[in-house]
Amino acid sequence: VHAVRNYRALIGLSVFQMTCLLIFAYLWKVAAARQGALNLSADDLLWYIAFNECVLIALPDLPDTIEQDLRSGRLAYLLPRPISYLGATFAEGLGTLTVNLMVLGIVGVLFTWARIGSFPFHPLCLIPMAALSLLAGAVAMVFQMIVGLSAFWIKEVSPFNWIWERLLFVFGGLILPLSVYPEALQNIAKLTPFEPILGGRSGLVFNFDLAPFLAVVGTLVCWGLLGGAGLYWIYRRGLRIVNIEGG
Amino acid sequence: MFYWHLLRTSIRSSISLRGVFLLETFLMVGNNFIFFILWWIFFRQFNDIAGWTLREMSALLAIGIGAYGLNQIFCGGTKRLSNTIVSGELDAFLTQPKNVLLHIVASKSYGKGWGHLLTAIILVFLEGLTDLPTLAILALGLICGCLVFTSAFIMAHSLAFWMGPIDSLSRKYCDSLYVFATYPTHIYSGLLQTTLFTLIPAGVISCLPVELLRSFEWKTFALLLGSASLFVFLAFLVFNLGLRRYESGNTFTPRA
């Protein structure tokens, strides 16, 4: 509800998303003549980027929220409540993510469709893709929260957040599918959660099939569980410092 | 003189926590170079975009990122301008017998700007853009880019005088301008091309200096200087027009 009420931010995000898509639409138009090495056409690539950008831009700024909670001392008020701080922050973020994804998903699909004029996939594929985008966004949020919790030890988390975002760009295959990367980078990317969050998920839409879909779901769930365990462990360690310093 | 004294204080404040400053600078350089890897992969695949190779792209990134860094170091006060207007914090600036806009612009400096600037310098050396004429054009591009970034940010945030709390929209406009300035803008055509030299002046920031590097023409040179001057003039004009509509927020805001 809070995210819907903050419609100005949603307009801003939509404008930003269309800006990014416009850049790539032109970029791929120019590069289209020489993209023989890619399996995807210029139009397909724009769809691929639209699905990537949608999740990327829809992510709430959780590292900043957590940093503010720690800096302002709000955490001290939240801890005695009978709900988990991590759970509440995650649930709040998930709400924002869901609203953002709905708006940006519609804007992204309409914008890309208006530029290209056709769907290179069955429109019904958008339903499982939307669900997968939400799952991917939720997993990304878990890792964002880990970045946010670094505020227990450092003054500003934004430098780590930039690195996390840029790694997501590169190893997620934001503007180019990982298949065109040098082999070493591809191998590194496969060991990270970035690929299923962005490129691995978006690439599914072109030859949509249940088996690869479930494989990406499984990978995301595994990364989500692993990230969640890491998050909880870091949180417990961070709380010890808060106790030692008197909160 | 007042501007430089204020700026010196702001910069000292931004780098006072050495550890944080060094960490931010180091991570910002890393962050920018991870982004550079994307372009390296792109040019590995496509060789050139409408005649621009990785060399031109590196120059564009050096100018776009470096100019943004200069903005954060020397004109960081623009970042929260709309918030300052809406929350009534402008009162603190209005009570002093100095130019209000210059005062606001120099009132804040961000340490991470040095990371951007350092990235630009590394890119220049990495791509061998080190002969004297090239360095002179790059320096000119950085200064003009910083002025255009600052002017565009001031105008976007000054809309708060008329439209109220538009902080998130203004920030997204600023983000979009930075994003456009770090992508090649010569590939666009028609209305979008016009937009990129007017409403979202990313073309002025990074495309004109790179075109000057490719082949120096006095016409392009004059266009770059003229556009930067015009944007500065417009920023002062829009801010001062907006200031006439400003009503005090009746808030006490101590400024140390």
CA angle B54/B60/B66 to nearest 5° reads 130
Q: What are the tens digits of pLDDT across the range B24-58?
A: 888 889 889 988 888 888 888 777 887 888 999 99
Look over chain A and give the mean of its residue pLDDT values, rounded to a whole number. Answer: 84
Residue B170: CA count within 13 A, CB half-sphere: 28
Report, as an integer, the average pLDDT of A198-204. Answer: 87
Q: What are the tens digits of pLDDT across the range B122-139?
A: 999 998 888 999 999 999
Measure the CA–CA gap between B9 and B108, rounded to whole angstroms: 9
User: pLDDT band for position B249 (50/70/90)?
Assistant: low
Between residues B156 and B93, the one the model is more confident about? B156
Q: Tell me, letter by letter, the H, E, C secondary structure of B73-116.
A: HHCHHHHHHHHHHHCCCCHHHHCCCCCHHHHHHCCCCCCHHHHH
User: pLDDT band for position B64 (50/70/90)?
Assistant: very high
User: pLDDT band for position A247 (50/70/90)?
Assistant: very low
What's the confidence (pLDDT) of residue B253? 60
Of B112, B172, B192, the CB nearest to A15: B172
Q: What are the tens digits of pLDDT across the range A72-114?
A: 778 888 888 888 889 999 999 999 899 989 988 898 899 888 8
Between residues B114 and A5, the one the model is more confident about? B114
Cβ-defined contact of A163 to B176 (cutoff 8 Å): no
User: pLDDT band for position B238 (50/70/90)?
Assistant: very high
Query: Which residue has tokens 């310093």?
Result: A245
Residues 6+ apart with CB under 8 A from A229: none
Report, as an integer, the average pLDDT of B147-176. Answer: 86
Q: What are the tens digits of pLDDT across the range A169-193?
A: 888 888 788 888 888 888 898 899 9
Which of B7-21, B59-73, B83-97, B156-170 is the least confident region? B7-21
Q: B23: distance to nearest CA of chain A, Å?
A: 8
Measure the CA–CA gap between B197 and B190, rounded to whole angstroms: 11
What's the confidence (pLDDT) of residue B155? 94
pLDDT at B146 over 90: yes
Cβ-defined contact of A163 to B44 (cutoff 8 Å): no
Cβ-defined contact of A12 to B172 (cutoff 8 Å): yes
Contact A155, B17 (CB under 8 A): yes
Kindly state the tokens that stand for A19: 């800006």
DSSP string of chain B, one letter each residue: -HHHHHHHHHHHHHTSSHHHHHHHHHHHHHHHHHHHHHHHHHHHHHS-BTTB-HHHHHHHHHHHHHHHHHHHHHSGGGGGHHHHHHTTTTHHHHTSSS-HHHHHHTT---THHHHHHHHHHHHHHHTT--SHHHHHHHHHHHHHHHHHHHHHHHHHHHTHHHHSS-HHHHHHHHHHHHHHHTS--TT--HHHHHHTTTTSTHIIIIIHHHHHHHS--HHHHHHHHHHHHHHHHHHHHHHHHHHTT-----------
Q: What are the tens digits of pLDDT across the range B75-91?
A: 988 888 888 888 888 88
Rounded percentage of chain B residues whose pLDDT exceeds 90: 36
Measure the CA–CA gap between A149 and B186, rounded to whole angstroms: 42
Query: Which residue has tokens 């350089």?
Result: B29
What's the confidence (pLDDT) of residue A173? 85
A interface with B, Cβ–Cβ below 8 Å: 6, 8-9, 11-13, 15-16, 19-20, 22-23, 26-27, 29-31, 34-35, 37-38, 154-156, 158-160, 162-163, 165-167, 169-170, 174-176, 180-182, 185
Picking from B144, B153, B139, the residue whose alpha carbon sits closest to that of residue B203 is B144
Interface test with B, best of A2, A10, A27 (most B CBs within 10 A): A27
Chain A residue with minimum CA distance to B185: A23
Q: What ipTM describes this predicted complex?
A: 0.70
Report, as an integer, the average pLDDT of B152-162. Answer: 91
B157 touches chain A (CB under 8 A): no
Burial of A190-209, coded b for 16+ CB within 10 Å and e otherwise, reads eebbbbbbbbbbbbbbeeee
What's the confidence (pLDDT) of residue A27? 75
Q: Which residues face B49 on adjacent strands? A: B52
Q: Spell out which residues of chain A touch residue B46, defining contact as CB-CB under 8 Å.
A: 31, 34-35
Picking from B251, B158, B148, B156, the residue whose alpha carbon sits closest to that of residue B207 is B148
Measure the CA–CA gap between A100 and A58, rounded to whole angstroms: 5
Q: What are the tens digits of pLDDT across the range B212-227?
A: 999 899 999 999 999 9
Report, as an integer, the average pLDDT of B173-180. Answer: 84
Measure the CA–CA gap between A197 and A220, rounded to whole angstroms: 7
DSSP string of chain A, one letter each residue: -HHHH-HHHHHHHHHHHHHHHHHHHHHHHHHGGG-TTSSS-HHHHHHHHHHHHHHHHHS--HHHHHHHHHHHTHHHHHTTSSS-HHHHHHHHHHHHHHHHHHHHHHHHHHHHHHHH-S-SS-GGGHHHHHHHHHHHHHHHHHHHHHHHHGGGTSS--HHHHHHHHHHHHHHHTSSS-GGGS-HHHHHHHHTSSHHHHTHHHHGGGGG--HHHHHHHHHHHHHHHHHHHHHHHHHHHHHHHHHHHTT-
User: pLDDT band for position A36 (50/70/90)?
Assistant: low
Q: B15: distance to nearest CA of chain A, Å?
A: 13
Q: Which residues face B210 on adjacent strands? A: none
Max CA pair span of chain B: 59
What's the confidence (pLDDT) of residue B68? 94
Cβ-defined contact of A12 to B46 (cutoff 8 Å): no
What's the confidence (pLDDT) of residue B212? 93
Picking from B31, B72, B66, B185, the residue whose alpha carbon sits closest to that of residue A19 is B185
Q: A27: distance to nearest CA of chain B, Å?
A: 7
Picking from A73, A88, A87, the residue whose alpha carbon sits closest to that of residue A245 is A73
Query: Which residue has tokens 């100005």?
Result: A8
What's the confidence (pLDDT) of residue A34? 61
Report, as an integer, the average pLDDT of A139-150. Answer: 93
pLDDT at B151 over 90: yes
Query: Which residue has tokens 């780590």?
Result: A160
Q: Spell out which residues of chain B touch residue A13, defining contact as CB-CB under 8 Å.
A: 172
